[in-house]
Amino acid sequence: MTALALSLKNAIIRYGRMTAVDGLSLELRPGETLGLVGESGCGKTSVARAIAGLQPLSSGELAIGGEALGGSPAARRRDLQRKVQLLFQDPASSLSPRLTVGALMAEPLKIRRTYSAESWARIAALAESIGLGKQLLPRYPHQLSGGQARRVALVRAIAAEPSIIVADEPTAGLDISVQGELLNLLRSLRDRLQLSYLFISHNLNVVGRVTDRVAIMYLGQIVESGSTRQLFSTPAHPYTRALLSSNLTVDTQRRGDRIVLKGELPSPHEPPTGCRFHGRCPVARAVCATTQPRLETLSDGRAVACHFPSETGFVQAMTG
Amino acid sequence: MPALLQIARRPGGGFALFAVTVICLVAIAAPLIAPYGPNAIAPAKRLMDPSFQHLLGTDHLGRDILSRLIYGSRVALGVALSVIAISLIAGVTLGIAAALSPRAVDFSIVGIFDIVTAFPSMILALALVAVLGPGLGNVVLLVSIVFIPHFGRVARAQTVALRNSPFIEAERVLGAERWRVILHHVTPNIIGPIFVLACMDIPVVITIEAGLSFLGLGVRPPLASWGSLLNDGYTYLEQSIWLATFSGLALILATLGFALLGEAMRDTLDPKLRKHL
Amino acid sequence: MSEALVAIEKLNVSYPGATVSAHVLDSVDITIGHGEAVGLVGESGSGKSTVAFALLGLLADDADVSAGRAAFDGRENVFATKEAEALRGTEIAMVFQDPMSALNPLFTIGTQLIDIQRRRFPNERRSQLWARAERVLAEVGMPDAPRRMRAYPHEFSGGMRQRVVIAMALLVEPKLLIADEPTTALDATVEAQVVEALRRLRRRTRSSMLVVSHSMGLIAELCDSVVVMYAGTVVESGPVKAVLRKPLHPYTRALLACEIDPYADFDPEQELATIPGIVPDPARRPSGCIFAARCTESHARCSEPPPHRQVEAGHRFSCWQDASR
């Protein structure tokens, strides 16, 4: 069995007294795209930052390519960490404002001290192939369009020769007519360079189309994870059901009835007792308020943290 | 150069550029343009009024005032530029270090800055010179210390604002080492306002040097500094007003020039006012 | 049939430049019936927000606005006279993408919900206004409305703020509510809540609505009819169901093809649809069909302005192609 591209075990991330991520585990297999879905404040950005090495874990273990980071010597840790590259949500602000596009794209090579005429030619060719022609090299980030900045950031990430790319809302702010182009590009790069993606997005249509597996987060924890197909067709956790039902699609018939949740997302400063979703859950019972459900693997391979995960038949009755 | 043109277009900018250029050229070309040696004594020609031989007159030892002022510009500029260079480099280094260090280190550095800034700069310089003794070298060193917090604080504040910005984080994700991030990405983005500050500090340093020399704590005779010239002129003010007048004018021209240049630079470098890079 | 609430014909907006002027709207027709919800859909640069701002009289002073006809509720020439400004806040209300911009951070929600009613009910006492505000706030789905009346805008989440703004619109009881990307900044489950609030508002007030959005899904959800805009022109308009079921303009078809349906059967290896090319520069509009350069079905005739065609009730499009294809 090949090693996992990345694994995160029992990760806890605290900011002061607030626990943003609470005992979260993720596994990313080589060559796959894993979607991480959740609403603002659920901790998905903290997870992305921790995986990219920008946010230390308060506890838990991160392993890249089967090798644990904790306990590795600092130099090794840096090499391992470099295997994970992050595409920032706002690509334009992730480019150093006083460097030209050429310098920005050469930067990863210089950082790794692998800059040479050949390595630069390779990067320049990659840039050219995704529509960043030579005429852009002397430009500064503020002279680029949003799409161009996104591509420059992508070239930089690829130039670091990663095995994993964490994409934080890669389609945010893109028109629907160009969104497909970026997603196609990401996929062809994944296949060509044997990358794995952690794809963070709140756009459920996109996640449903481009990911292989998906994990749903609610208040710092994963409530359900499994193959994307499975999860979209028969969501087991009531939160997943509500989330998917509230997704707006053009075909209003197919989606079935919308489940509108009550109330607001509770504050992560004082997460509810028991199941964190119980206060807004349409099917909550007494036990949900007192006992926190464990993330358990069902017979069909997916994992759900719910005392009363819905049976396949029940879901079909609801959406059918 | 469009940047210079923009500075020249600001109010006072044209005058500032002109004054600063003239002073720098004069200081560089002093031996070529000074009509006499700065220390050439002519007891027969004491305290003369301006004439064609001595355009600005002579002092109490018969030395040509114009020549002494021309050479004095070298001291003024030399001291100002060395002080600014030393305090800028030390201040920026400490400021960036403070911003990127653990909290305890940050607090200690900021604490030292606060203590130094608590004293008025002239008084502190005076006290330090009194301890270490007079002389140009000591003046440069001690005034530099006084100015380090100036640059240190601005550098620290700018770095703090920058350190969690996405592009710095992007470099970290690429695996850039700390020094590389500091040199290539932090420094170039904080240095603009610091240069402006440097430019506005030059006249302050020039006046402090003049003040210390006026008090006899700066340059040693017979070396000419605008401060020591002012002192000489003050001593013989009742016999001749020319030395005091012209050395004072030189001082005003220089401070005004640099101060206005600093302001024009600040306006030009302000990204909201800037139209190009 | 009675006259529509909003009848705009041949609306042109351009910004004069030094050499050429930028034509951002070109002969736009929009009709909104009483109680009708119209969706205005298009990508960035389509001019959909310009239409909304023109209706509100919020365009920049240097904008050159002209219209063949601009009638609002029986009054003609609303752009020519300064009437659009007078209508704003009384007969036309607006829900913006960023609700914070519509709320004053210094006053409680209750105070702001009362102030908004002063123009409509100048003679009522504060307690009456307060009671009505509280009731409406509860109606748009605000939990614990009596207590939240005393809270300040910063104490609300984005979705709750948007509900406050919708409550404001409800209290004004405008004849027309313009919602500009009302849910773009919100998460999916919150979006669902706001969509619910907007539907409730429609049922209750019989206001007409103009929903400006890039999201076909939102418009399908909220609107009766849709106007598809591209580069400042209306390329297709008609009842939502008809346009979605049988899009007639190639642009509408291309746009709908870009929509991803995660429930459909798809081959994961298959590329996602895109529309190659870029929107034409408003200062250099082509003389023929505006979409011709990006259209996969263009032919020689497309260099001439396309005809406006109508198929069945109210379903219009402008293209050289035959509708019966």
Domains in chain B, please, with CATH? 2-39+53-269 (1.10.3720.10)
Cβ contact, residue pair A111, B169, below 8 Å: no
Contacts of A156 in chain B (CB under 8 A): 170, 174
Task: Kindly tell me if the per-residue pLDDT of A209 is higher than 60.
Answer: yes
C156 to chain A: which residues are within 8 Å by CB?
none
Distance CA C103, CA C160 (A): 12
State which residue of chain A sits closest to C191, comparing Cα positions. A246
| Structure tokens, B275 | 């139209």
DSSP state letter for C261 = -
Considering only the beta carbons, identify the residue of A184, A232, A246 that sits closest to C188: A246
Report angle CA C17, C21, C27 to the nearest 5 degrees: 150
pLDDT at C225 over 90: yes
Residues in B touching A78 (Cβ below 8 Å): 175
Chains near C with 3+ CB pairs less than 8 A apart are: A
Chains B and A touching, counted as 3 or more CB pairs less than 8 Å apart: yes
* Subunit partners of chain A (3 or more CB pairs within 8 A): B, C
pLDDT of A52-66, one tens digit each?
A: 999 999 999 999 998
pLDDT of residue B46: 76
In this complex, whether B and C touch, counting 3 or more CB pairs under 8 angstroms, is no
- Give C2's pLDDT tier (boundaries 50, 70, 90): low
**Chain A nearest-CA residue for C161:** A264
Q: How many Å lie between the alpha carbon of C178 and the closest alpha carbon of chain A?
A: 20
Measured CA to CA, the distance from residue C221 to residue A9 in angstroms comes to 41
Does the beta-carbon distance from A177 to C43 stay under 8 Å? yes
Instruction: Split chain B (277 residues) into runs of 10 and give each run's mean pLDDT.
Output: 73 85 87 80 76 79 84 87 94 94 93 90 81 84 90 94 91 90 90 87 85 80 79 82 86 88 77 45
Cα separation, C177 vs C169, in Å, equals 7
The rounded distance, in Å, linking the Cα atoms of A75 and A315 is: 50
Note the pLDDT of residue A315: 44
Residue C119 burial (C-beta neighbours within 10 Å; 0-12, 13-18, 19+): exposed
How high does pLDDT run on average in chain C?
86
- pLDDT score at B108: 95
pLDDT value at residue A249? 78
Asked if C256 is an interface residue toward chain A (Cβ–Cβ < 8 A), one would say yes
B169 at A interface, C-beta within 8 A = yes
Q: Give B276 to chain A, closest Cα distance, Å.
A: 10
Are B85 and B77 in contact by the 8 Å Cβ rule? The answer is no
Distance CA C91, CA C177 (A): 8
What is the side-by-side strand order in the sheet with A303-304?
Answer: A84-87, A164-168, A196-200, A33-37, A213-218, A221-227, A303-304, A296-297
Secondary structure class of C218 (helix, strand, coil): helix
- The arithmetic mean of pLDDT across residues C215-232, rounded, is 92
Amino acid identity of residue C269, one-letter, is E
Global pTM? 0.83
Domain residue ranges in chain C: 6-91+174-318
Please give the residue that has the higher pLDDT: either A285 or A223. A223
Q: At CA B87, angle to CA B85 and CA B91, rounded to 5?
A: 120
| CATH code of the domain occupying A1-83+162-211 | 3.40.50.300
Cα–Cα distance between B109 and C167 in angstroms, integer?
A: 53
Contact C262 A205 (CB under 8 A): yes
Instruction: Single out the residue of A281, A285, A284, A307 nearest to residue A294, CA to CA.
Output: A307
pLDDT value at A319 more than 90: no
pLDDT tens, residue by residue, A156-175: 999 999 999 999 999 888 88
Touching check for B183 and chain A: CB below 8 Å? no
Size of interface A-B (CB pairs under 8 A): 60
Are residues B104 and B258 in contact, defined by beta-carbon separation less than 8 angstroms? no
Restricting to C residues 111-170, those with a Cβ less than 8 Å away from any Cβ of A are: 143, 157-160
Which of B103, B173, B184, B189 should we substitute to test contact with A (largest number of A Cβ atoms within 10 Å)? B173
Asked if C263 contacts C217 with a C-beta cutoff of 8 angstroms, the reply is no
Choose the most confident range, by mean pLDDT, from B127-136, B217-226, C101-110, C157-166.
C101-110
CB contact (8 A) between residue C189 and residue A243: yes
Nearest CA in chain C to A261: C189
Contact with chain A for residue C100, Cβ under 8 A: no
Q: Do C260 and A264 touch (CB under 8 A)?
A: no
Question: pLDDT band at A318, cuts 50/70/90?
Answer: very low
What is residue B91's predicted lDDT score, i.e. its pLDDT? 95
CB B7 within 8 A of CB B264: yes
Helix runs in A234-308, H state only: 238-245, 252-255, 286-290
For residue B94, what are its two tokens? 């400490």
Test A94 with B172 for CB contact under 8 angstroms: no
Instruction: Return d(Cα A247, Cα C36) in angstroms, integer.
Output: 24
pLDDT tens, position by position, A119-154? 999 999 999 998 888 999 999 998 888 888 999 999
Q: Give this complex's ipTM.
A: 0.85
pLDDT tens digits for A229-252? 999 988 999 999 999 888 887 776
| pLDDT on residue A1 | 54
**Secondary structure of residue C22 in the 3-state scheme:** strand
User: Which residues does chain A have within 8 Å of residue B175's beta carbon, measured at their own beta carbons?
Assistant: 78-79, 81-82, 108, 111-112, 160
The vertex-B153 CA angle with B152 and B159, nearest 5°, equals 90
Residue percentage of chain A with pLDDT more than 90? 57
pLDDT at A59 (0 to 100): 93
Range list of β-strands (E), chain C? 6-15, 22-32, 37-41, 64-72, 92-95, 176-180, 208-213, 225-230, 233-239, 308-311, 315-318
A296: exposed, middle or buried (Cβ count in 10 Å: 0-12, 13-18, 19+): exposed
User: Higher-confidence residue: C120 or C46?
Assistant: C46
| Residue of B242, B243, B241, B223 lying closest to B232 (CA atoms) | B243
Question: Which subunits sit against B, judged by 3+ Cβ pairs under 8 A?
Answer: A
Contact A244, A204 (CB under 8 A): yes
Provide the β-strand partners of residue A37.
A216
B190 vs B1, B155, B197, C150, CA distance in Å? 22, 7, 12, 44
CATH code: domain C6-91+174-318 is: 3.40.50.300
Of B165, B169, B177, the CB nearest to A54: B169
8 Å CB contact of A207 and C215: no
Computed on alpha carbons and rounded to an integer, the radius of gyration of chain B in Å comes to 22
Task: Give the model confidence (pLDDT) of C171-219 as tens digits.
Answer: 888 889 999 888 877 788 888 888 888 888 788 778 899 999 988 989 9
Of B171, B175, B189, the CB nearest to A97: B189
| Beta carbons of C180 and C212 less than 8 angstroms apart | yes
A94/B170 Cβ within 8 A: yes
